[in-house]
Amino acid sequence: MSTFAGVVLFTGVLVYAVLGGADYGAGFWDLTAGGAERGRGPRSLVDASLAPVWEANHVWLVFILVMLWTGFPVAFAAIMTTLYIPLGLAALGIVIRGSGFAFRKVMVRTSQQRVTGAAFAVSSVLTPFFLGTIAGGIASGRVPTAGHGDAVGSWLNPTSLLGGVLAVLACAFVAAVFLTAEARRRQNTDLETWFRRRSLGAAVATGAFTLVGIAVLHADSPRLFHELLSRGLPLVVVAALCGLASVTLIRRAAPRLLQALAVVAVASVVAGWGVAQYPYLLGTHLSLGEAAAPTPTLWALTVVAAAALLLVVPAMALLFVLVERGRLEGH
Amino acid sequence: MAAGDPSQLLPAREQMAFTLGFHIVLVPFGVAFTFLMLVANWRGLRHGDEQALRLARRWSHVSGVLFAVGAVSGTVLSFELGLLWPGLMGRFGAAYGIPFAVEGLFFFLEAVFVAIYIYGWDRMRPWAHFWTGVPVVLSGIGGTLSVVAANAWMNQPAGFVLRNGRVVDVRPLGVIFNRAFWYEALHMLLAAYMVAGFTVAGVYAVGQLRGRRDRLHRLGLVIPLTVAAIATPLQIFVGDVAARAVYQNEPAKFAAIEMLPQTGTHVPEILGGALVNGQERFGIPIPDGASLLSGFSPNTRILGLEAIPPGLRPPDRLVTTVHLAFDAMVGIGFALLALSAWFALVAWRRRRPPENRWFLRCTAVSGVLTVVALECGWIATEVGRQPWTVVGYLLTRDAVTTSGNVWLLFTATLMLYAAVGYGTFFALRLLRRRWRAEDDRPGGGEQALDDGVPYGPSHARETAAADGQA
């Protein structure tokens, strides 16, 4: 039962990593798009493709938090009392990002758009970094069961930094592929080229950094390293293959296939982390079973998850289909 | 704040109060403003009313901005539950978290359909588009009920078994449908409809006072004010039932609300005043009022603050705050009832809403007053619960975090929220300016850039035709 709740929770992490990641990454490209004139094209594509979906994608984060504090309250308290610095910064980053994005859509003058846009874009890079360091802190076992762990070392350590940088890179990669596909769908060849180049760059950077990461894990988190390359190996291979495929096919493949490849690449990396860490929720000292809430609570969460499967998943599918068919435009 | 309280208690409480107080102003716009928007949309489609459609579309732009700010400020609250109150979440998350899980579902649905509705104006068929707004309103209601269920649980904890300080068994339905659930949830839901109704009506009342008395502004006042005028009497009834439930189930809070030092019968209802050195001062008493209201008889016995053990008794300042907040809420409630009656009476007798300047001025003020009443209501229930976080089970000082320095987070949050508040205000003002320029242009919506009459002949049909050919 606790394993099942753990899977539900981790599914939330996975979906958020992909969907939320694509949104954060869009902010990365928004930030690096250059001056107001030069960056107009990419920015307007970012704006148009993000606007209808980012709030729905963002809810997955709330889903994760709620599942964690209800299903595994002890672990939630431990994480919150240890990693409070990156968590607090991420929370503030989320506010800046969401409101900056919403405000920019309304602003008309370039100077106003620049301020709100910069708020959106900078926080889009910083927030996934902090979230990545949190993941690193948890994965490397730096959150004690009783909480109140090292406030600095728990997120400023090799594995956390790896997590942070990898999160930013992976977000940028998924977003670039998504936006390439989006530009192709809109038959905008200039933008397609613009984002295709960046997809390649991001893919190379992410791939190279992952290799570095493996060395870091070997030194800093031996258990994670070991499990990742034994139990998690198939996922690692899938991730590498999909990453390579998405890059080689980027000129020809249908947009939907490209998106699928990028999604699977990132999702398998995250899933690899989950598989490597199982059955522990925190390091090797708190297992899912020990951290879990009483069974009736887990049942309640199961009912909620089933309802989400019946209601939320079709609703989100509808949203994405409408977006893809260009039914949600204007304004 | 008593001596010996942990040092983080003050900043943590201030931060929670501030961010919740900020978020709660946005809640009515996600929950009830969307309903007003649909009413205008329905009217526009049903009666071919272009002005109503234009109103619905403009309101959807506004709710787009407010929903975004509400979504992120709500997320901060989820973080804060852990960052500020790990003692609450770690010990009671298994029970307290369940209503939030349900709320997550509604939040999902709301976010999805808000997006479809806001961005669907141009490309969807009119009635199909209208129906995508309905789940927004329904999930707004569901979300409100679930979040308030969690708050009600803190006042009337139920549905769990505690052993050695750990929650060992949970009855999920018992947690959600605790004794305070129905009256708190309905009270908040109606409050959301009142706030959205009076605030939006207030905005258009100001417009009319400034001479914009066209049909758009009249509709913009009538639709929300009608909804608010229906919600207000219901709210007063629900509020009355709620107060009596608090009298029966939460005697400590009731003693603070009534600012009653000694237990007794024939308790007067004190209007205003303050608690000074444990004694009520400066208030205006209505003889037997409190006893009559809580038990329909002057002999009704009401517990005083003295009945609370000294260690758990809230300090005078806190009691005064709760009492004054409650009085302000009720006072504003009745003022709004009078305004609603005025509106209803004139609308019924003359078949059109009142248009004299005093009515418009009162309506304009009502928008601000409902927000004040909303905040006061939350102060009454939240501060009134102190020193408890979970009544009878967990003291606030035991729930608060001991890690880090909350003052730093609080300072950063204050500055950031000030910027976000300013940004929201600025964005809404920009929208207003844009629309005003549009209204003033001859030909109005026909030439409007991005805000023409929706579903109108100008570009919607063209794109529909283009889509058909594609």
- Enumerate domains of chain A plus CATH numbers: 2-296 (1.20.1630.10)
> Residue B80 and residue B414: Cα distance in Å, rounded?
14
Q: Is the Cβ–Cβ distance between B85 and B400 less than 8 Å?
A: yes
The whole-number pLDDT of residue B449 equals: 42
Proportion of chain A above pLDDT 70, given as a percent: 99
Q: Of A69, A97, A114, which to mutate for an interface test with B (greatest number of B Cβ within 10 Å)?
A: A69
Average pLDDT of chain A to the nearest whole number:
88
Question: CB-CB: which of B107, B123, B416 is closest to A92?
Answer: B416
Separation in Å, CA of A137 to nearest CA in chain B: 16
The whole-number pLDDT of residue A310 equals: 92
The whole-number pLDDT of residue B198 equals: 96
The whole-number pLDDT of residue A141 equals: 85
Residue A248's pLDDT band, with cuts at 50, 70 and 90, is confident
Residue B138 lies in a domain: yes
> What is the DSSP pairing of strand B279-281 with strand B274-276?
antiparallel
Scored b (16 or more CB within 10 A) or e, A203-232 reads beebbebbeebeebbeebbebbbebbeeeb
Question: CB-CB: which of B86, B100, B135 is closest to A66?
Answer: B100
Answer whether residue A79 shows pLDDT above 50.
Answer: yes
Q: What is the pLDDT of residues A171-205, one digit of tens each?
A: 999 999 989 988 888 888 889 889 988 988 998 89
Token digits of residue A4: 């099942």
CB contact under 8 A, A76 and B89: yes
Residue B379 lies in a domain: no
A97 Cβ under 8 Å from any chain B Cβ: yes
Nearest CA in chain B to A81: B403
Which residues from A are below 8 Å from B171, CB to CB? 296
Strand partners, A280: A287
* A 141-170: CB under 8 A from B: 147-148, 151
Answer whether residue B135 shows pLDDT above 90.
Answer: yes
Question: CB-CB: which of B95, B104, B118 is closest to A63?
Answer: B104
Token digits of residue A270: 């995250």
B135's CB contacts (< 8 A; 6+ apart) are A315, B109, B110, B112, B113
Q: What is the pLDDT of residues A85-138, one digit of tens each?
A: 999 999 999 999 988 888 888 888 888 888 888 899 999 999 999 999 999 999
Q: Is the Cβ–Cβ distance between B393 and B154 less than 8 Å?
A: no
B389's CB contacts (< 8 A; 6+ apart) are B85, B87, B88, B154, B395, B396, B398, B399
Q: Is the Cβ–Cβ distance between B101 and A70 less than 8 Å?
A: yes
The whole-number pLDDT of residue A130 equals: 95
- Cis peptide, bond prior to residue B387, ω within 30 of zero: yes
> Residue A102 and residue B30: Cα distance in Å, rounded?
15
- Helix A54-71 and helix A2-15: axis angle, to 10°? 160
Q: How far is CA B303 from CA A268, B282, B294, in A?
A: 61, 21, 11
CB contact under 8 A, A328 and B169: no
Q: What is the pLDDT of residues B179-197, one digit of tens each?
A: 999 999 999 999 999 999 9
Q: Is the Cβ–Cβ distance between A209 and A163 less than 8 Å?
A: no
> Residue A321 and residue B9: Cα distance in Å, rounded?
48
Question: CB-CB: which of A56, A80, A316 is closest to B83?
Answer: A80
ipTM for this model:
0.89
> Residue B182 and residue B374: Cα distance in Å, rounded?
18
Answer whether residue A231 shows pLDDT above 70.
Answer: yes
Q: What is the pLDDT of residues B281-318, one digit of tens each?
A: 888 888 888 888 888 888 888 998 888 898 888 999 99
Residue B364 lies in a domain: no
* B 380-409: CB under 8 A from A: 401-404, 409
Which residues from A are below 8 Å from B401, CB to CB? 80-81, 84
The whole-number pLDDT of residue A221 equals: 87
Cβ-based neighbour number of residue A115 at 10 Å: 17
CB contact under 8 A, B403 and A84: yes
> Residue B316 and residue B322: Cα distance in Å, rounded?
10
Answer whether residue A2 shows pLDDT above 50.
Answer: yes
> Residue B93 and residue A74: Cα distance in Å, rounded?
8
pTM of the model: 0.89
Answer whether residue B467 shows pLDDT above 80.
Answer: no
Residue B401 lies in a domain: no
Q: Is the Cβ–Cβ distance between A14 and A271 less than 8 Å?
A: yes
The whole-number pLDDT of residue B235 equals: 95
Separation in Å, CA of B245 to nearest CA in chain A: 28
* A 1-60: CB under 8 A from B: 51-53, 55-56, 58-59
Answer whether residue B450 shows pLDDT above 50.
Answer: no
The whole-number pLDDT of residue B452 equals: 44
Answer whether residue B457 shows pLDDT above 50.
Answer: no
The whole-number pLDDT of residue A289 equals: 85
A107 Cβ under 8 Å from any chain B Cβ: yes
Residue B447 lies in a domain: yes
CB contact under 8 A, A92 and B104: no
The whole-number pLDDT of residue B82 equals: 87
Report helix, strand or coil for A54: helix
> Residue B1 and residue B110: Cα distance in Å, rounded?
39
> Residue B301 and residue B264: Cα distance in Å, rounded?
5
Which residues from B are below 8 Å from A99, CB to CB? 68-69, 72, 420, 423-424
The whole-number pLDDT of residue B283 equals: 85
Residue B100 lies in a domain: yes
Q: How far is CA A58 from CA A18, A97, B30, B467, in A?
A: 11, 11, 16, 31
Q: Which domain holds residue B463?
A: 18-179+410-470
Residue carrying structure tokens 């307290």: B96
User: What stretch of H or E contains B152?
Assistant: helix B126-155
Residue B129 lies in a domain: yes
Token digits of residue B461: 């049909």
The whole-number pLDDT of residue B451 equals: 45
Average pLDDT on A271-294 reads: 86
What's the one-letter identity of residue B20? L
Q: What is the pLDDT of residues B319-368, one digit of tens each?
A: 999 999 999 999 999 999 999 999 999 988 888 888 889 999 999 999 99
The whole-number pLDDT of residue B4 equals: 65
Proportion of chain B above pLDDT 70, given as a percent: 93
Answer whether residue B445 shows pLDDT above 70.
Answer: no
CB contact under 8 A, B111 and A65: no
Q: What is the pLDDT of residues B68-119, one digit of tens each?
A: 888 888 888 988 888 899 989 888 988 999 999 999 999 999 999 998 998 8
Nearest CA in chain B to A308: B105
Q: Is the Cβ–Cβ distance between B78 and B97 less than 8 Å?
A: no
Q: Report which DSSP code applies to A72.
A: -
Structural domains of chain B, count: 1
CB contact under 8 A, A58 and B101: no
| CA dihedral of A169, A170, A171, A176, whole degrees rounded to 10 | 90
Nearest CA in chain A to B112: A56
Question: CB-CB: which of A52, A78, A148 is closest to B119?
Answer: A52
Residue A72's pLDDT band, with cuts at 50, 70 and 90, is very high
Residue B158 lies in a domain: yes
Q: Give the CB-side neighbour count of residue B184, counting CA atoms within 13 A.
A: 26
Average pLDDT on A317-325 reads: 85
Average pLDDT on B457-461 reads: 37
B54 Cβ under 8 Å from any chain A Cβ: no
